[in-house]
Amino acid sequence: MAAVQAGKEARYKYRKAKYSHIVIEPAEPNALTADPWSYLHGLLLSKVSSSAGNNRKNYNRAIYFSGLAEDFYKAASAVSMPAKGTLFYYGMMNLVKSFLAVNGVPLEDIVEHHGVTNTHGKRHSLSILGKIANCTNIFGEFAKLLGTPVIGKHELNLRHVLVYIPEIHAMCVDLNLIKKSKFLPVDIKLLVNDENTYIFSELKYHKGHEATIDCGKLYTGKRKVYFNDSLQDGDSVRHRSSARKRVNNDNWPRVYKNILREYKDLSICSILTRDGYKYYCQLQTSDYHHLCNSYLVMFYLGHTARYRPTEIQEVMSGELRPLATEAVALIPKQFMYHLVSLITGKLCVIPYSEI
């Protein structure tokens, strides 16, 4: 490993420019909200007042679907499993429809399909549908917007989907669904040279993770092209982006946003904590974005509860029970904050003052 080369914290107009999985303005502050539903409603109302035609219609649809999502979330909090899973799924589905609406995906005036169903004749299996003629495929459109489009009809085993959800991944390891973690905690920084004329990025992880995680998989695939080989720095291992992008006062925002977009191809996942978002590199690529996997698990729990009582009872009394209950306890709120961030284009986080 080479020695760490010079590079200092990137700043825009004297403020730190941080990495964000949401494409925001450089040095834009986080949106602190203990009530993301009201925050989302307010942002969408402002969009309605400043738009016209189809855009205005889409924003009004987004307001309706987000309100419906909020009601399903509130209803879910008052019941237990398995009904809780069904209500949370419908809440998450309507949040997705709000996201689709603001992105101009046809809704209401065209037939809509979930885009996924329980596999006929198989337990713990989901069938992902490909293109559906004259129909809006909800899951398919969601996956496409997140950069992992559906490629034809196929099946996914529930266990396979579960291990690619960062919120419950550690429990999957504990329960021996997999031998080693597929998620490596990373710290991502934006750096500049001493003259502030070039910007680049750095991804860092702690060497202690090498005892339990196959960290060598970080420098593979698209990441091997994007980053230089590793740099040793005490108890940390760093990877610097190969490209150095020239910046000046005029192009700073554009270059910064382009870097954030480039990271969308590098399998970086996010979890919201009290200290903001924590980031993980998904070392083995899954079929879909981690938010899509969260959606699929909640679909399975909700749909199975409605149509396969024997199967959902088996889940709730068997070895999958802790994963099912953990998923219902953690995923909906994480999904809500992530989707509100995607819809508003703001990095929404939980304020420190919420107790």
Condensed to tens digits (0 to 9), the pLDDT of residues 10-30 reads 999 999 999 999 999 998 999
SS (H, E, C) 128-188: ECCCCCCCEEHHHHHHHHCCCCCCCCEEEEHHHHHCCCCCCHHHHHHCCCCCCECEEEEEE
pLDDT over 80 (residue 2): no
CB contact set of 18 (below 8 Å; sequence gap of 6+)? 27, 189, 190
DSSP three-state, residue 202: strand
DSSP labels, 48-100: HHT--HHHHHHHHHHHHHHHHHHHHHHHHTTS-TTHHHHHHHHHHHHHHHHHH
pLDDT given at position 66 = 97
Residue 18 token pair: 């941080």
User: What's the average model confidence in pLDDT over 170-176?
Assistant: 87
Residue listed under structure tokens 């024997």: 310
**Which pLDDT tens digit goes with each residue over 54-88?**
999 999 999 999 999 999 999 999 999 999 999 99
Average pLDDT, rounded, for the chain:
93
User: What's the average model confidence in pLDDT over 187-202?
Assistant: 94
Q: Which of 321, 286, 323 lies closest to 156, judged by CA? A: 286
Determine if the pTM surpasses 0.85: yes
pLDDT given at position 252 = 95
Q: Which of 12, 73, 64, 328 lies closest to 199, judged by CA? A: 12
pLDDT over 70 (residue 7): yes
Rounded to whole angstroms, how far apart are CA atoms 216 and 238?
A: 12
Length of the chain: 355
